Amino acid sequence: MSNAPAEEIAAEEIDLTEANEIIDKYLTLPGNLMPVLQGIQDAYGFVPKPTIDLVAERLNVYPSQIYGVLTFYAQFHLKPRGKFIIRVCVGTACHVQGAERITETFFGRLGIGHAETTEDLRYTFEKVACLGACGMAPLAMVNDDTYGKMTVQKVDEIIETYNARPMK
């Protein structure tokens, strides 16, 4: 080990009130780890590091176990995500209807790949297994808005629409 002074790690400034409230709500429920983490994810948009320590302490579980759960399920995120989450369904029905060209066009237009976020935090892109609206295949979603019967042209229209939306 060097003698250099330890680099001061700036503690992440984060308001834990909401996380504490979520933990209070599920404290006595058996199997509460997942609902707590889901609540935190809903509230903060992702699962920030300080909340993991808090959950470990208050629910009396090892942080390693929490990380195990967080990394196992596709719906948990450890990094901040974009304001607009673009999901393209790549289920079987969408696949045979050409979902691949939709995803690749998004990749090209946004310059990010699967599960990545643009630097300006505007977009996060995700391929998802099945959104269950196979009759409308191929399907894309931006946040809660669904776009059925997607074409490559529609990709550009969608990006234009959300580029025009304000960030705040």
Binding site for other proteins (CB under 8 A): 30-35, 38, 68-69, 72-76, 90-98, 101, 104-105, 108, 128-137, 139, 144, 146-148, 151-153, 155-156
What is the per-residue DSSP string for 12-74?
P----HHHHHHHHHHTTSTT-HHHHHHHHHHHHSS--HHHHHHHHHHHT--HHHHHHHHHHST
| Residue closer to other proteins (CB basis): 103 or 117 | 103
| Residue closer to other proteins (CB basis): 33 or 43 | 33
59: region left, alpha or beta (phi > 0 left; psi from -120 to 50 alpha): alpha
Smallest separation (angstroms) from other proteins to the CB of 51: 16
Smallest separation (angstroms) from other proteins to the CB of 79: 16
**Dist. CA 82–CA 80, nearest whole Å:** 7
**Dist. CA 152–CA 114, nearest whole Å:** 17
| φ/ψ of residue 144, rounded to 5 | -100, 0
| Residue closer to other proteins (CB basis): 98 or 111 | 98
| Residue closer to other proteins (CB basis): 17 or 32 | 32
Smallest separation (angstroms) from other proteins to the CB of 62: 12
Smallest separation (angstroms) from other proteins to the CB of 54: 16
